[in-house]
Amino acid sequence: MEIRYFDNNATSAVAPEVLEAMLPYLSDFYGNPSSMYAFAARAADGIDQARSRVAALLGANPEEIIFTSCGSESDNTAIFSALQAQPDKRHLITTRVEHSAILNTAQYWERQGCRVTYLNVDDRGRLDQEQYLQALGDDTALVSIMFANNEVGNIYPIQRMAEAARERGVLFHTDAVQAVGKTPIDLSHMPVDMLSLSGHKIHAPKGIGVLYVRRGVRFRPFLRGGHQERGRRAGTENVPYIVGLGKAAQLATEHLQEERIAVARLRDRLEQGIMAGVPDCIVNGDTENRLPNTSNISFKNVEGEAILLMLDRLGICASSGSACTSGSLEPSHVLRAMGVPFNYAHGSVRLSLSRYTTEEDVDYVTEHLPDVIKTLRAISPYKD
């Protein structure tokens, strides 16, 4: 059965160009980039090139790029560094809709005695800007706001929020794991101090991430040891994966503009097709301001896991914010923060596209999804 992959916000396919770029570094150029001979310099050159490519994608300088193992490590490092470098400041600002890499880390620091402000969202998932401005204080060590939300795709006004933090002399971090490669980010015009990204969301493999740290920002390493990454992240460099991420960044830079439009067109076709074929469903999030590849739809009176398993039988890969899929007993914290009613929140399905999604894939979903919902609604005790 053909796989119809609609879960690119969870992870994405490794681009063939990326795999090709990586292979020599897994076979031939295995030297340790720290070694002194020319053979190892091949590996070091690969890293340098990758660093430049990532920097180009973000509008940053190469020396501002630190390679890490994943987005979560980058997030942990950003918060750790901000608190360690400013021991007199014990307040964090983040949001109720962050990824767990930020939320659980913030809660950890809360237990260590820090104060954390979690910004509220409205019913479309838009951040409370008034609460944000009021929360910024002399004691605030860091603001960490996601660039775009992984579940509903909302893009947050990072430019404006980072400017407000800068005016108050507060460090600003953004978890841009879902945004990079999907929406333009130019750090040369945006007063963001730190930014996290993850390779496997942009067609590089899993196990590689980046923390951008603006030149001049005080930094404390999270992982101590060797001098790698100019002493900012110890551990022998994961050369093939760094090279892969560099290639993925280059592809994203080259194709971002055209892909945004093409992917958004397919997403809209998908969404309109579903809305036309299924009664009683709603699109979650800020439809005027969201990632081009993400659609989060709630189906009334059916449960998300049941939908996913039926889609799985058809070869369709998607995800859900329902309680049952996560092993927790409550629906997604994002949908709850938005106040999505329970009869919709349990039945949410997230479909996320990529440059590899085809019109045929989209039409396959819009053809089959209505029957799945109909079948489940037929045995649901809730009819209206």
Partner 1 sequence: MWNYTQAVHDHFLHPHNAGPLAGANAVGEVGSLACGDALKLYLKINGQGVIEDAGFETFGCASAIASSSVLTDMVKGKTVDEALKLTNKDIAEALGGLPREKMHCSVMGQEALEAAIRQWKGEPPIPHAQEEGRLVCKCFGVTDAQIIRAVRENGLKTLEEVTNYTKAGGACGDCQDEISQILAAELKQKPLTEIRPRPRMTNVQRMQQILKIIDGEIRPLLAADGGDIELVDVDGRRVVVSLRGRCSQCRSSDVTIRNLVERLLREHVESDLVVEEA
Which of 215, 329, 360, 384 lies at the binding interface for partner 1 (CB under 8 A)?
A: 329
Which of 1, 38, 261, 378 lies at the binding interface for partner 1 (CB under 8 A)?
A: 378
CB closer to partner 1 out of 90 and 166: 90
Number of residues that bind partner 1 (CB under 8 A): 30
Q: Is 323 left (phi over 0), alpha (psi -120 to 50) or beta?
A: alpha
Q: What is the CA radius of gyration of the chain?
A: 21
Note whether 313 binds partner 1 by CB under 8 A: yes
CB closer to partner 1 out of 37 and 382: 382
Note whether 309 binds partner 1 by CB under 8 A: yes
Nearest to 287 by CA among 264, 307, 304, 303: 264
CB closer to partner 1 out of 224 and 313: 313
Q: Are strands 209-213 and 348-352 parallel, antiparallel or unpaired?
A: unpaired
Nearest to 283 by CA among 301, 295, 293: 295
Whether residue 287 contacts residue 381, with contact meaning beta carbons closer than 8 Å, is answered with no
Which of 79, 106, 202, 302 lies at the binding interface for partner 1 (CB under 8 A)?
A: 302
Q: Interface with partner 1 by CB under 8 A: which range of 5-13, 194-202, 285-293, 300-308? A: 300-308
CB closer to partner 1 out of 39 and 342: 342
- Is 324 considered catalytic here? yes
Q: What is the SS3 string spanning the chain?
A: CCCEECECCCCCCCCHHHHHHHHHHHHCCCCCCCCCCHHHHHHHHHHHHHHHHHHHHHCCCHHHEEEECCHHHHHHHHHHHHHHHCCCCCEEEEECCCCHHHHHHHHHHHHCCCEEEEECECCCCCECHHHHHHHCCCCEEEEECCCECCCCCEECCHHHHHHHHHHCCCEEEEECCCCCCCCCCCHHHCCCCEEEEEHHHCCCCCCCEEEEECCCCCCCCCCCCCCHHHHCCCCCCCHHHHHHHHHHHHHHHHHHHHHHHHHHHHHHHHHHHHHHHCCCEEECCCCCCECCCEEEEEECCCCHHHHHHHHHHCCEECEECCHHHHCCCCCCHHHHHCCCCHHHHCCEEEEECCCCCCHHHHHHHHHHHHHHHHHHHHCCCCCC
CB of 343 to partner 1, least distance (A): 5
Which of 45, 110, 138, 186 lies at the binding interface for partner 1 (CB under 8 A)?
A: 110
CB of 143 to partner 1, least distance (A): 20
Note whether 331 binds partner 1 by CB under 8 A: yes
Q: Interface with partner 1 by CB under 8 A: which range of 55-63, 169-177, 193-201, 302-310? A: 302-310
Q: Interface with partner 1 by CB under 8 A: which range of 185-193, 196-204, 247-255, 328-336? A: 328-336
Which of 322, 332, 352, 357 lies at the binding interface for partner 1 (CB under 8 A)?
A: 322
Note whether 382 binds partner 1 by CB under 8 A: yes
CB closer to partner 1 out of 9 and 196: 9
Nearest to 243 by CA among 86, 27, 64, 4: 27
Note whether 381 binds partner 1 by CB under 8 A: yes
Note whether 324 binds partner 1 by CB under 8 A: yes
CB of 365 to partner 1, least distance (A): 19
φ and ψ of 148, to 5 deg: -145, 145
CB of 376 to partner 1, least distance (A): 8
Note whether 116 binds partner 1 by CB under 8 A: no
CB of 69 to partner 1, least distance (A): 24
Note whether 87 binds partner 1 by CB under 8 A: no
Note whether 7 binds partner 1 by CB under 8 A: no
Note whether 145 binds partner 1 by CB under 8 A: no
CB closer to partner 1 out of 61 and 380: 380
Q: Which of 70, 114, 317, 324 is catalytic?
A: 324
Note whether 36 binds partner 1 by CB under 8 A: no
Interface residue list for partner 1 (CB under 8 A): 110-111, 113, 115, 301-306, 309-310, 313, 322-325, 327-331, 342-343, 346, 378-382
Catalytic residue annotation? 324
